[in-house]
Chains A and B, each alone.
Chain A
Amino acid sequence: MLPVLLLITLFMSFALLLLRRDLRSALLFLAVGSITFFLYTISVYIAKKGGITDFTTFVLYGNNRVRQKLMYQVFTMNRLGFMMAIGRYLSPYFLLLSSLNMAGKLNKSNLIKKGLLLFILPLMGILIYIPQFFETFSSNPTAMGIVVTVTKIWIILYLAMSILMMIIELWGTKLSFFRLRFIMKFMIILSLVMIYGLFFPQDPAQVYLFYRNDYMWMLGLWYLHRGFSSGFNYVVMIGALLSGILSMASLIRYFSITFGEEVAEVKIRREVSSTARGVSMFVHGTKNDLLATRILLDKVKKNYPEDGDIERLSQINASLVTRLEKLNKSLKVNSIRLRPASMMDVIEECKKRVRENFCNYQINVDTEETTKLILADTTFLSEALYNIIQNGIEATLDNKRHDPIEIQVKYGRMWVEIIFSDRGKGIDRKLKKHLWEPFHSSKNSSTNWGIGMYFTRLVIKRHLGSISFTPRRDGGTSFIVMLPLAGEGRK
């Protein structure tokens, strides 16, 4: 059972690596891989030595036939012991690197420095446990005792640091969006540490020194430990099984979210690339005609200055030109200039546009006093956020209500979370799937081309942020925008 769970977890981590191709996925894959390898060597050893209950057989092998297969695998004791040592010393190393990376303490720029520094102890462990080398000083029980104890201590320290890093990061993550996501990552690391922690006390030298008189008693067989006998054996094995389930479930969840985001991104990108060129040609052609029409209208206007129809025609022409320019810009947000800016300044700009277009529709802003800044192109960002507010107001009015739009601004350690909440009817299931795609709209309006939310998402992505939405408890929708803070905590 446990190996099956770990193999699924390994497969998921490999799929994640293929999907993301980043340092985090690589480290996670190596951590899961090394633990799976370690557990494999332990399982082979236990299969060969015997002495386990039916329940332990079920947890470790699923059934006795699998155990028999592992039992008859050809290994010399030296090779099996050394393989176990490799798995035993690489697992805490990769677990710690994964944890540091998830906690934002390890990235590509400091990987070599920190990675090499932390690799010293595992490398020493692997070298010392080369059977031929270990046997040279195993004749001195004191020296061997020291090596065995020191090894255990650094492994425990690495595991403790892995957990501690994650707890500190979780503690410092105040924003609910990131907190929920981080809990998932925390669960992956925690469950992997638990699985590894149950078996790491088995010293690999025991495999090749077991029969050399005193070593049998000095190093002991961990899985035959007194504590594992009788009832406690069930507790330990169930713990191992639950940890396996937890790590597999967490990684599957992590993968499915990442996969969903990637698929949505690819879908939108494809849709945009297939339509952008056509839209661009259409916009240029139409805009030229409209500009020519404007010149003609200006001439006609001079001849008939009192004619109201000509004035209305001019206004329609001007509006069409503006909308076409906006459409063109929406599909080409390539150059954004990020500068430190106040989030409140951006929101004030949004409010100003609301006042101009919605006759002072009420906007309630809940925020805290802070000096924290974001990195933003305020023109693009305020336009993007205004789109959310505009949609919120229109949805609320469509719902025959006049509730204010609520804006909550929460500052975390590295991120700011802005929540826009309306009292509209909510987003129907059909639209949810296509909300971010261009030229999709639920509004029955000749002036709406369904480009607003696509533009908003694109601008937020260009600001290295994210946007999501969720229904409100008492009706309506909340849009959650996450943007990175400038300066401290974000290099």
Chain B
Amino acid sequence: MKKAIAILLVAVIALTGIFAQGAEEKATTSSLKTLNVAYMPNYASLCSVMAAIETGAFEEEGLKVNLVEFADGPTIIAAMESGSIDIGYIGHGAHKLCINGRASIFAFSHLGNGDAIVGLKSHGVESLADLRGKKVGYSSGTSSENILMLGLKKAGLTMNDITAYEMDASSLTSAMTSGSLDACATWSPSTETMCSQIGSDAVVIARNETFSDETVNIASWIVMPKWAEANHDTLVKFTRALYKGEDFRAKEENMRQVAEWVAKQVAGDVEIQYQTVHGAKWYTEADTINGIKDGSIKALYEVQKLAFGDAVDPTTPVENYVLFDIMLEAAHN
């Protein structure tokens, strides 16, 4: 018994040593500043940052990015608040937390079309109106909840007309595949994964573009306001590298390569990632700078803010939570 305990202790100590050594190596082999960056396991979240890592853009700026995977935006903000994460990516739903002062946006990512409401034909769901009385899964506080609300509103329904099941994104995929739900509101690449696994029985009954007259689906990069103040230069460098990544992934010839990098990072299927490369309007550095200068990006954030309704204070100026100065300062020209 004593021997067994001793062996186990030695194993634990050895493992600790290995991990500690790894951490030490990271710190000593370069003088790069390490940033803990939160992402969600999908193409939209990872494409620009993976491109910047793989093309060496971050290293050029003296930065090393340590990627940490999260399920959704609100959790990323909670982790940033706790101090374990420096920079994070959020989808549309978590923007209301930024409007409410929880975090600041320092980079515009893209206009997405990845959120969707998916129904099962065999369960009688082929349109938004069919949702009445059905079991519908969603992730509250995220883009999933937003698109569900919009979908119900368009069909003249409310949450009281459906049996709502609050779940996380991964549970939604499993529940739809097993047929436990009749429909769900989710985001990319869960949409593609579901459709691929379920086959012809799955039908996308609404996407972001279905509601383009009411809201916009913006994705952004965020930091804690205090962190942004204390790390202004680092933030500019990060944004500059991110622009390089965005420019790289925007080129048609690089899209396959970026999908492969993303698939490798999320340990997923390349084809599923590649299916989503045209699922959004990807912004380049030039698009962002022009958009800021002509006021179109600010206008997008204004539309988004108003679409949140009572969940946010509509009088909050966009400049309070979007750091346009960082985006401009990071521009290469």
Contact = CB atoms under 8 A, between A and B. Distances in A.
A72 B174 contact: yes
Interface stretch (B72-80, B202-210, B215-223): B72-80
Contacts of B166: 76-78, 208
Interface in B66-89: 68-71, 74-79, 81-85
B82 A229 contact: yes
B75 A221 contact: yes
Most buried by A among B71, B167, B168: B168
Interface in A284-299: none
Given A73-B171, A74-B175, A224-B82, A245 B70 contact: no
B171 A75 contact: yes
Interface string A423-447: 0000000000000000000000000
A324 to B, nearest CB: 45
B75 A49 contact: yes
Contacts of A71: 170
Interface in A8-50: 48-50
Interface string B178-214: 1010000000000000000000000000000000000
Interface residues of A, number: 42
Nearest to A245: B8
A455 B1 CA distance: 32
A468 B175 CA distance: 59
Given A51-B75, A221-B79, A225-B82, A72 B70 contact: no
B168 A77 contact: yes
Could you say which interface size class chain B belongs to?
35 or more
B56 to A, nearest CB: 23
A51 B165 contact: no
A54 B267 CA distance: 14
B83 A76 contact: no
B167 A49 contact: no
Contacts of B77: 216
Contacts of B79: 51, 221, 224
Contact of A211 (B15, B68, B82, B142): B142
A212 B5 CA distance: 46
Contacts of B81: 217
A210 B84 contact: no
A76 B172 CA distance: 9
Contacts of A229: 82-84
Interface string A213-226: 10011001100111
Interface in B138-186: 139-142, 145, 165-168, 170-171, 173-175, 178, 180
A51 B9 contact: no
A241 interface: yes
A234 B16 contact: yes
A74 B167 contact: yes
B1 A72 contact: no
B286 interface: no
B12 interface: yes
B4 A76 contact: no
A74 B180 contact: yes
B38 interface: yes
Given A72-B171, A73-B174, A238 B84 contact: no
Given A51-B85, A229-B83, A249 B75 contact: no
A58 B15 contact: yes
A72 B173 contact: yes
A226 B171 contact: no
A103 B141 CA distance: 49
Contacts of A224: 75, 78-79, 82, 84
Contact of B19 (A73, A216, A234, A249): A234
B19 A54 contact: yes
Most buried by A among B1, B74, B171: B171
B166 to A, nearest CB: 5
Nearest to B19: A55
Contact of B70 (A50, A213, A234): A50
Nearest to A208: B166
A9 to B, nearest CB: 13
Interface string B255-295: 00000000000010000000000000000000000000000
A71 B168 CA distance: 9
B173 A216 contact: no
Contacts of B167: 74-77
Given A72-B173, A211-B141, A220 B168 contact: no
A230 B78 CA distance: 16
Given A49-B71, A51-B84, A242-B12, A216 B174 contact: no
A210 B15 contact: no
B20 interface: yes
A220 B139 CA distance: 18
A315 interface: no
A49 B84 contact: no
Interface string B82-117: 111100000000000000101000000000000000
A253 interface: yes
A62 to B, nearest CB: 12
A52 B173 CA distance: 22
B8 A49 contact: no
A226 B178 contact: no
A221 B311 CA distance: 22
Given A51-B38, A216-B78, A238 B71 contact: no
Contacts of A241: 12
5 contacts: A51-B69, A74-B171, A75-B171, A224-B82, A249-B4
Closest 3 CB pairs of A and B: A211-B141, A229-B84, A50-B70
Given A49-B71, A52-B68, A76-B171, 10 more contacts: A49-B168, A74-B171, A74-B178, A76-B165, A76-B166, A208-B166, A211-B142, A220-B82, A225-B82, A228-B84
